Amino acid sequence: MKIKWTKELSVNNERIDIEHQMYFDLLNHICNESEKGASKERVVRLINEFVQFVRFHFMSEENVMIDTGYSGYAEHTRAHNYCLESVKTKVFAFKNDEIAVEEIVDFAVEWFFMHVSSLDKQLGKHLALL
Ligand SMILES: [Fe+2]
Ligand SMILES: [Fe+2]
C-alpha cells in the first residue's frame, strides 16, 4: 500500500504540509514493514512511533492556534482528541490480536483526509491572513 500526499491536501502552510507528509511516511512505513512480514513487536514499535508523531503534530497545530488567538481552537482540539482516543483504542485491540494493523491504518487515513480537507484547511486560511 502506498498512501500519497498530493497538492490538493495542501493547507498553504509549509510547516503543517511537511508534518502532514510525515504522517503519511510513517503510515507507509508501518504498511510496508507489515506486508514484508515484520514481527508484531516491530509493527507495534512503528505504530508507537506514529502515535508519538501524531501527538506532536496535534500539539504543534494547537500551539499555533493558541498563539494566534484562533476562534476554532476548541472544535479543532476536540477533533484531534477524538482521533487520538480512537487510535489508542485500535492499538489496544491490535495488541490483543482482535484486529489487523490495516484497521488502524485505514482509520488513520480516512480520518486524516476528512480532517485536513476541513479543519486543517480552515486553520491554514486563518494563518495565511496573519
Ligand atoms: Fe488538525
Ligand atoms: Fe494536521
Q: Tell me, what amino acid is at 31? A: C
Q: How far is the CA of 15 from the centre of ligand 2 (A)?
A: 10
Among 93, 3, 7, 104, which residue's Cα sits nearest to residue 46? 104
Q: How far is the CA of 65 from the centre of ligand 2 (A)?
A: 12
Task: State how far the Cα of 39 lies from the Cα of 6, in Å rounded to an integer.
Answer: 31
Q: How far is the CA of 37 from the centre of ligand 2 (A)?
A: 30
Q: How far is the CA of 5 from the centre of ligand 1 (A)?
A: 16
Q: How far is the CA of 129 from the centre of ligand 1 (A)?
A: 18
- For the CA of 77, the nearest ligand: 1
Domains of the chain listed by start with CATH number: 14-128 (1.20.120.50)
Confidence bin at 2 (pLDDT 50/70/90): confident
Q: What is the pLDDT of residues 90-110, one digit of tens each?
A: 999 999 999 999 999 999 999
DSSP secondary structure string for all residues of 46-104? HHHHHHHHHHHHHHHHHHHHHHTT-TTHHHHHHHHHHHHHHHHHHHHHHHTTSS-HHHH
For the CA atoms of 11, 87, 30, 54, what is the dihedral angle to 10 degrees?
A: 40
Q: How far is the CA of 114 from the centre of ligand 2 (A)?
A: 11
pLDDT above 90: residue 1: no
Q: What is the pTM of this model?
A: 0.96
- Segment 41-50 shows an average pLDDT of 98
The residue behind cell 515484520 is: 38
Q: How far is the CA of 58 from the centre of ligand 2 (A)?
A: 6
- For the CA of 119, the nearest ligand: 1
